[in-house]
Structure 1
Amino acid sequence: MEKPWLKHYDEGVPATIDYPSIPLDQFLTDAAAKHPDHAAIVFGAALGSRVMDAQLTYGQLDDAVNRFAAGLQKMGVQKGDRVAIMLPNCPQFVIAAYGTWRIGGIVVCCNPLYVPREVEHLVNDSGTETIVVMSSLYERVKSIRAATGLKRVIVTNIKEYFPGLLKFLFTLAKEKKEGHRVEISDDADTYWFQSVLQSTAAQPAPVKIEPEEVATLIYTGGTTGVPKGAQLTHHNLVSNATLLNVWSKSKEAEDVMIACMPYFHVYGLTAGMNTPIANALTIVQIPNPRDMVHVLKSIEKHRATYYPGVPTMFIGFNNFPTRDEYDLTSLRFAVSAAAPLPPEVQQKFETITGGKMVEAYGLTETSPAACMDPIEHPRARSIGVPVPDTELKIVDADTGTQEMEVGEVGEIIIKGPQVMKGYWNMPTETANAIRTGPDGQTGWFYSGDIGYMDEDGYFHITDRKKDIIIAGGYNIYPADVEAVLFEHAAVKEAAVVGVVDPRQGESVKAFIVLKEGESATKDEIIAFCRERLAIYKAPRFIEFRDDLPKSIIGKVLRRSLRDEEAQSVEK
């Protein structure tokens, strides 16, 4: 296949890369060996007029990872066992993830916003027996533990890696008030994170790990709304981190990364954690990406150079009232993904910082990076070009067997080293997603996204075949929300769509038909959903109707509802 995009690669970016054949944790081992005293993680909080934070060097981080890995082995965790991590961005997430990988365990990423029923499903579906959880979230895990196969719970407090003064102030003013102080002494097989580190050997027993073995399960969904665990191998994640460092021309042990994207999301896991560790960069962790004061102060204080995010973050960055009070000129590169990047947002960011901003595209199933704008040759309203060793094709959306011509719209399919192994315990769904392409070759991932390739090899997304709603970078599956709506005693029919939101990209709107003789208010419905769903999934808008548009076989037509909303916006 001709690859017209290659001629638009930046100078020095190759068409193919010799990826190291290593397990993921080897990135950290190598970084610690070469740069033991270099800052690996900076973590803290904004307090008044300054940021108070502390750092872990690569040597310290590697030592903590070894101890955590040995602690897991002491508890009985073995190669292939699943370890769930329910934490915001913090040093404990990195230690738990790399410690799990070091002994051949599988990291299961768990969104800290999940309510108990969502945590229960993830734990049971993945067969997780060990979970690492923030103390403020411990009650959620405790409430569902008896209904799961959990054998071990490791609890950590957000303050553990704060600098001394900040830790003292947090203990006095916030720890108890915000639910961080919990008692676990009476709970069987429940351990404090620091106790695990302190009561074990300095090194774990060595474990042989092959690159094609599964490293991580990240749950995603689809048109059915049934969450599926995407199995990402060590090779998937190693190759993606390696090529992102090549693409961005990151400077070993020099660049400083602002890590706002949550690590439980594949974007944050790869771009904000594995990629910087692969090249010994300094990671400035931001637990709450909406805390723009923390972001701006950290960029200025640490002279951050690299900022991955989503459009909503950059809109907040561009429009923050006191933004001009900060020196942000250290930023040389930012990447926006997970939702379309408005050109005006890109332009304003570049004017403010003097750095470059590009758009990228990928999915959970592609680790995630599959397509990215060249830094020196970006193209407005495109998702860029395929990254090294990666092919994209446009095929007919009906059968997926015929390749479309340049400029013709169809489904985007992807092939490369980043494509997942498959969905966890879902062979049918795996076979539907990873198929033989029109070239007769196996291994093509069918994305469900609709777009086209222009004459220069840049790709453009025009629609989503799936009904996924993307709000502030979060994927929301309508069937998840609809399932909860149908639990309400007054709801007869429900359909959920994404509506345009200038800040978040999309927001959730629910169309509801009430049962005859029943009544409910919009506020009641929203409150009902917020008790049963992560806050970002709950509808922001409710519209009551007498009926919903349906196909001849009675299927609710979400597209018709979206079209109606689009027309109302135009008016």
Structure 2
Amino acid sequence: MWIKPKVDNRVHLHHYGDVPANLNYSDVKSIGEVIFDSCETYHDYVALKYILSGNVHTENYTKFAEQIELAAKMLKLNGINKGDRIMVLLPFLPEDYHIIYAIAAVGATAVPIHPEIRVKSQLIEQIREVNPKMIICLDRNVQLLDSIFSEYKQLGERIHKVLYVKPVDSFKMNGIASVINPIVDYKYQKSGEAPEKFNLTSNKFASYRAEINSAKNYQGTYMANVKPEDDYAIYYTSGTSGKKPAGIILSHANSFAYLKSGTAISNCVEPGDSVLNTPGPFHCFGAETGRNVTLASGATQIIVPDPKKFKEIAAVMKSEKPSHVVSVPKLLNLYKESGLFDDICLDFVKSLICGGGKMGTATSEYWNAKLKHTQIREGYGSTQLCGGICINTKTLQIPRTIGIPAPDVYFMLKDPETGEIINEPNKPGELYVSSPTLMKGLLGNPNPDCLITDEDGVIWYKTNDLVSYDENGWYTFIDRCDDIINLDSGNLVNPSKIEDILDKRGLETYVIFQTNNHPKNQGADRIVVAIEYAGDLEDIKLLQEVLEKDFADNLNKYEIPAEITVMDRLPINGNGKYKKRETIDKYFDGEFRLNLVLNR
């Protein structure tokens, strides 16, 4: 049970308005129960609107509840019980929504994984760590999983069944209308998205749709009696800094607290509103904020499986006119650069909520110019805290800040070097957070070093993030503490100073790193800026002169980068964050278009 800090130093409370500073969490429910309640309340409203290549599938809340119930019955027929773990390798699809809430209803634990598997060895390790009883995946993942089971026999033996989903399954019909189904399949095969015909060695694979159909006559019970402390989900962190992705264990109490606190601070979604949610279900922010909070409020989820299909997202923006958009800075920057959104006025948008990284000035200005009734509501959060726990409010949005903490979220700042508590505005410090949304622990490590218990028994999460707050309690994210560059000379360099200069010149797609900790480094320790740029290299050479002057005017000599390396594309993970370790590897392997040595 969460213990509230004794000292209440929340200087931001006057910004809450009618939002209570503290909430009651005694009525904990599983997210499955919450969504069933929502379906009963909003039965006539549309819950899901799935759009793919011009096809549209809709479900009202009554139909949505029926599909969740069918999925829960299917799980019970397959021997899934309370405490079992199920890996889900799906993008946002109707089946993902059904199965996630069905897993919660039967008391099992969902483990969402990005379906675009870039590193086979990482997936093998995650299967080994999670030890799932079932895997639910896209059809294009089947051949890879079969090869893993063939190569690692013990992994395959542990898993009861693997169910695969086709992205077009929701457009298929039952009864006499099923005559269209072969046409749907034919178009899917011709689209280039479908995998080749399966050539499997394992007999564990089955169609999700077929299993759902077999569950229609199941008469047994499926709702589990879950306890607040029971595991609800395991989300893997992105591992962008080169660290191994960690499995974050969240309880039903964590999810329920986040639902209540997040709903209170966002304070914007009304029944019948529509939501375009671009972070995937494997992204805690996309799942807990973009999906759970909005569906519990009676809104319609507009589903586009691949947020990187810019034309489809732009077309949906125009045709559906979503009331709310949930996204991340990387995607908003890519949408801006595509040019496909230039003629779209967002006068229909009530809120644009963005988290998951720092937003550049150019991206912020681009989207804010399109919004008529609000500005971007930037925020901050982490998987360890069940999603976004700090946000710009409904009534006040300050660009490039992260706003104020949600109800029952307590911030404490400490000097990163001395560990002394900081109680004054405009002084950066490492952020510690206490909240009822704070994780149970890490998979394989229930007592990680990042969880600190004080003398009052209060558990704080050591975030490794530098933030500051102003006189009104409004917070700004500065940088990751481990991104602070410690040069061989002993000088410390805060990358945010370099970032501010790049940002003012319209550069938003970059990674800043130092070279001394890479095994291939043979020279002196130096700071390098890797920039993603596919245009005319002559423009970059002109930019070199401008940056040299900017750096000389605004930085100490030891803070000035030694090189700018230009790459066609910086490596990113499925959550839309840049992968620093892979970027550094590309630099040392010579995988760049141009490398500029700066005059220092």
1:349–1:536 Cα change, 3 Å: closer
2:132 to 113, 128, 141: 128
Alpha-carbon spacing, 1:493–1:196, altered in 2? closer, same or farther (3 Å)? farther
SS in structure 2 at match of 1:462: strand
Aligned to 2:230: 213
Correspondence for 2:355:
337
**Mapped contact 2:355–2:388 kept (Cα < 8 A):** no
The residue type paired with residue 454 of structure 1 is D
Deviations 1:392-411 (A, max 9, x none): 11012246464453332221
Q: Which amino acid aligns with 1:435?
A: I
SS of residue matched to 1:365: helix
Q: Is the 8 A contact 2:344 2:370 kept in 1?
A: no
Aligned to 1:153: 162
For the pair 1:282 / 2:285, whether they are aligned, the reply is no
Amino acid at match of 2:91: P
Is the contact between residue 79 and residue 103 of structure 1 (CA under 8 Å) also seen in structure 2? Answer: yes
Amino acid corresponding to residue 116 of structure 2 in structure 1? L
| Alignment partner of 1:72 is 2:75 | yes
Spell out, residue by residue over 1:325-361, the C-alpha distance to the aligned partner (whole angstroms, 9 max, x if none). 5453211100111111234433332321314211100
Counterpart contact for 2:469–2:475, Cα < 8 Å: yes
Alignment partners' CA distance in 2, 1:130 and 1:56: 26
Q: Is the 8 A contact 2:261 2:408 kept in 1?
A: no
- Deviation by residue 1:500-531 (Cα, 9 ceiling, x = unmatched): 65799xxxxxxxxxxxxxxxxx9xxx99x99x
Aligned twin of 1:561: none
Q: Which residue matches 1:34?
A: 41
Residue 213 of structure 2 aligns with which residue? Answer: 198
| CA RMSD, 1 decimal | 4.1
Cα pair 1:360 1:371 within 8 Å, conserved: yes
2:56 — aligned with what?
A: 53
Deviations 1:80-135 (A, max 9, x none): 11100001111111112111111110001111122321211111111212100100
Which moved further from structure 2: 453-462 or 403-412?
403-412
- 2:428 equivalent in structure 1: 409
Alpha carbons of structure 1 residues 354 and 501: separation in structure 2 relative to 1, 3 Å: farther
Unaligned runs of 5+ in 2: 1-7, 174-179, 485-494, 496-507, 535-564
Provide the C-alpha distance between the structure 2 equivalents of 1:110 and 1:119, rounded to a whole number of angstroms: 9
The superposition leaves residues 34-77 of structure 1 with CA deviations (integer Å, 9 ceiling, x where unpaired) of 2223211111224xxxx431112222222121121121122121
- CA-CA distance at 1:465 after TM superposition: 1.8
Q: Deviations over 1:188-234 (max 9, x none)?
A: 23221011211122664331101221100011259782332111111
Q: Partners of 2:589 and 2:166 in 1: how far apart?
A: 46
Deviates more, 1:368-377 or 1:125-134: 368-377
What is the alpha-carbon distance in structure 1 between the residues aligned to residue 598 and residue 95 of structure 2? 45
Are the counterparts in 2 of residues 175 and 181 from structure 1 also a CA contact under 8 Å? Answer: no
Q: Which amino acid aligns with 1:219?
A: Y
8 Å CA contact retained: 2:269, 2:294: no
Is the Cα–Cα contact under 8 Å of residues 107 and 223 in structure 2 kept in the other structure?
A: no
TM-score, with normalisation over the residues of structure 1?
Answer: 0.80
Q: Residues 393 and 413 of structure 1 are in contact (CA less than 8 Å); yes or no, is this contact kept in structure 2?
A: yes
- For the 8 Å contact 1:66–1:204, the answer to whether it is kept is no
Matched, 1:543 2:587: yes
CA distance in 1, matches of 2:240, 2:453: 20
Paired residue secondary structure (1:7): helix
SS of aligned partner of 1:351: helix
Secondary structure of the corresponding residue to residue 394 of structure 1? strand
**Corresponding letter in the other structure for 1:168:** I
The counterpart of 2:479, out of the listed 451, 463, 466, is 463
Shift of the 222–327 alpha-carbon distance from structure 1 to 2, 3 Å rule, reads closer
Q: What's the % identity of the aligned pairs?
A: 19
Whether the 8 Å CA contact 2:364–2:400 is kept in 1: the answer is no
| Partner Cα distance (1:160, 1:401) in 2 | 57
Aligned partners of 1:116 and 1:143 also within 8 Å: no
How far apart, CA to CA, are the structure 2 residues paired with 1:453 and 1:442?
22
In structure 1, distance between residues paired with 2:444 and 2:223: 28
CA distance in 1, matches of 2:347, 2:399: 23
Task: Kindly indicate whether residue 156 of structure 2 is the aligned counterpart of residue 138 of structure 1.
Answer: no
Query: Contact 1:42–1:282 at 8 Å: present in 2 too?
Result: yes
Query: Which secondary structure does the structure 2 equivalent of 1:232 belong to?
Result: strand
Secondary structure of residue in 2 paired with 1:55: strand
* 2: CA distance, partners of 1:244 / 1:224: 30
Structure 1's 498 and 234: CA in aligned 2 closer, same or farther, altered over 3 A? farther
Q: Name which of 15, 29, 35 aligns with 2:21.
A: 15
Deviations 1:213-267, CA, capped at 9 Å, x for gaps: 1100011259782332111111212222233322232344221000211110101
SS in structure 2 opposite 1:54?
A: strand
The match for 1:426 is 445
Quick check: 1:391 aligned with 2:400? Answer: no
Equivalent pair of 1:69/1:204 in contact (CA under 8 Å): no
Shift of 1:184: 7.4
1:239 equivalenced with 2:257 (yes/no): yes
Residue 157 of structure 1 contacts residue 180 of structure 1 at CA under 8 Å; is this kept in 2?
A: no
Pairwise mapping of residues 498-509 of structure 1 onto structure 2 (< 5 A)?
499=529, 501=531
> Can you give the 5+ residue segments of structure 1 that lack an aligned partner in the other structure?
505-521, 547-564
Matches of 2:348 and 2:411, distance apart in 1 = 34
The residue that corresponds to 2:453 in the other structure is 436
Q: Is the 2:442–2:448 Cα contact (8 Å) retained in structure 1?
A: no
Which residue of 300, 308, 313 maps to 1:295?
A: 313
Deviation by residue 1:247-291 (Cα, 9 ceiling, x = unmatched): 232344221000211110101111222112211210001211122
- The farther-off stretch of 324-333 and 450-459 is 324-333
SS of alignment partner, residue 376 of structure 1 = coil
Distance 2:122 2:359 in 1: 30
- Of 425, 446, 461, the match for 2:462: 446
2: distance between equivalents of 1:271 and 1:278?
A: 10
Aligned to 1:116: 120
1:379-432 per-residue CA deviation (whole Å, 9 max, x = no partner) reads 3332111111111110122464644533322210001111111112213xx341
Q: Which secondary structure state, in structure 1, belongs to the residue aligned with residue 187 of structure 2?
A: helix
Q: Do the aligned partners of 1:131 and 1:150 also contact (CA within 8 Å) in 2?
A: yes
Q: Give secondary structure in 2 for the equivalent of 1:543.
A: helix
Q: Note the C-alpha offset of 1:364.
A: 0.6
Distance 1:297-1:167 versus aligned 2 partners, 3 A rule:
farther
The alpha-carbon distance between structure 1 residues 406 and 352, as it changes in their structure 2 partners (threshold 3 A), is: closer
- TM superposition shift of 1:30: 0.8
Q: In structure 1, what is the Cα distance between the partners aligned to 2:169 and 2:13?
A: 47
Q: Distance in 1 between matches of 2:363 and 2:403?
A: 17
Q: 1:83 to 1:503 in 2, by over 3 A?
A: farther
Aligned to 1:97: 100
1:262-281 matches, within 5 Å, as 262-281=280-299
Equivalent pair of 2:264/2:407 in contact (CA under 8 Å): no
Distance 1:73 1:570, change over 3 A: farther
Is contact 2:467–2:476 with CA below 8 Å preserved after alignment? yes
Distance 2:50 2:533 in 1: 28
Shift in alpha-carbon separation, 1:453–1:41, aligned structure 2, 3 A: same
Corresponding letter in the other structure for 1:395: K
Matched-pair contact (CA < 8 Å) for 1:67–1:202: no
Does structure 1 residue 370 correspond to structure 2 residue 389? yes
> Are the equivalent residues in 2 in contact too, given 1:312–1:503 (CA < 8 A)?
no
What is the SS of the residue equivalent to 1:411?
strand
**Aligned counterparts of 1:389 and 1:286: Cα–Cα separation in 2:** 33
